[in-house]
Amino acid sequence: MRILLAPVLALALAIPASAQSDVTPDVREMHERMLVLDTHLDTPARMDDGSWDFSERHRNEWDNSQVDLPRMVEGGLDGGFFVIYTRQGDLTPAGYALARDAALVRAAAIRRVIGENREHMSLALTAADIERLHREGRRIALISMENSWPLGEDLTLLTTFYRLGLRMAGPVHNGHNQFADSASEAPRSNGLSALGRQWVAEMNRLGIIIDGSHSADATIDQMIQLSRAPIVLSHHGPRDLYDHRRNINDERMRQLAQSGGVMFMNTLFLGPNDNSDARNALDRRQERWGSLSPAERRQLLADVAAQDARTPRTSITFDMFMASVMHAIRVMGVDHVGLGADWDGGGGAIGMEDISLLPRITARLRREGLSERDIAKVMGGNLVRVMRRVEEAAARR
């Protein structure tokens, strides 16, 4: 596989100057010194069929993608959690088996892509791995699971996925399941189910970070209470700025911080989005990208462009995203905020359409008066700290 990775400054020339006008050379140098991580990269949805090349530079308008290896270099993104995602389905033996197999295929695809790009990136299994790979100048791949439905009622499968590299997981996505209530529906278990409480204990035992994004408020509260290690919200936002069920209020944000947890800031749910049936149907087609033919992919991109012309996907701007980040810092403290924009899962903002524009965050945080040390916490340091705390809690069992 041919990998074309030019020096950062040369690649930066390809980024429109208007988009990066706030990134001065000294800010770019600062950004490159830092460990920059994102906790929610949905890029693996493209990897299953083996035809989408992570090593080549793509463009959003070509294939609706936001993350690849060249753009990681351009944007100074050192790495993050690549997601094993499964859309919620039937809570039956057949449903569990179908989800399990899909999740294993997705995990194998992530491992394959890491292997294909081994000259430039490696799988990280510990906080120490992250720090070592950063010192070596390599990109860092971590693996997470969005929706634990594929585990069925067999928690020993967590060990299977742990051995494949899983180091973060959330109990639910959009819809309740055997483990917990989701934010998307009226309460059923009033938080965690009995099996969900066992799931929390097993996550702690193995040393896997618990992720509360997509969980109902009661589910988040109970995970904070039960977990022997801090939990995170891998792609979340503040409800006091925009009242959406996927966000949490300031009081719950403070509780998360007091427990040692971190909220990684999403670019979604910060203002109105196109949630029409037409858009949701396009998103479902996008999730099947790996199984689409070239003609079907071209048609999907044309249909997305037509829908965008009728109703833009998002009204959320870079300034709105940064207002959300600064609100979280004021409420929770700089030790409890990070980045989880939901790239390739519907994320991005006007003025920060893909990861090549991440240096704008560093520039804005600096303009807001944060020190380089505090900016480094937000950009990646807080994730490493939480991961180390989770590992230490598992070692004390």
For 119, the domain range is 8-17+35-273+314-395
Residue type, 306: A
Note the pLDDT of residue 284. 82
Beta strands in 184-341, from DSSP E residues, in sequence order: 209-210, 232-236, 262-265, 337-339
Note the pLDDT of residue 315. 85
pLDDT band per the 50, 70, 90 thresholds, residue 126: very high
Note the pLDDT of residue 120. 97
DSSP letters, 233-261, are: EEEE-BTTTS--TTSB-HHHHHHHHHTT-
Q: Is 210 a domain residue?
A: yes
Question: What residues have CB less than 8 Å from 157, skipping those under 6 apart?
Answer: 100, 150, 151
Q: Is the pLDDT of residue 17 over 60?
A: no
Q: What is the DSSP code (8-state) at residue 243?
A: -
Note the pLDDT of residue 11. 41
27-31, 46-50, 107-111, 215-219 — which is least confidently predicted? Answer: 46-50
Measured CA distances, 11 to 27, 57, 184, 339 (Å): 16, 11, 40, 23
Q: Is 253 a domain residue?
A: yes
Q: Is 60 a domain residue?
A: yes
Q: Is the pLDDT of residue 166 over 70?
A: yes
d(CA 291, CA 283): 14
CATH value at residue 357: 3.20.20.140
pLDDT tens for residues 374-385?
A: 999 999 999 999
State what percent of residues in the chain have pLDDT above 90.
Answer: 78
Task: Judge whether 167 and 209 are in contact, CB under 8 Å.
Answer: yes
Q: What is the pTM of this model?
A: 0.91
Q: Is 341 a domain residue?
A: yes
Q: Is 66 a domain residue?
A: yes
pLDDT band per the 50, 70, 90 thresholds, residue 19: low
Q: Is 190 a domain residue?
A: yes
Who wins on pLDDT, 286 or 11? 286
What is the mean pLDDT of the segment spanning 343-355?
95
Q: Is the pLDDT of residue 111 over 50?
A: yes
Q: Is 163 a domain residue?
A: yes
Task: Judge whether 320 and 349 are in contact, CB under 8 Å.
Answer: yes
What is the mean pLDDT of the segment spanning 28-40?
98
pLDDT band per the 50, 70, 90 thresholds, residue 258: very high
Q: Is 24 a domain residue?
A: no
In the chain, the number of structural domains is 1
Note the pLDDT of residue 313. 76
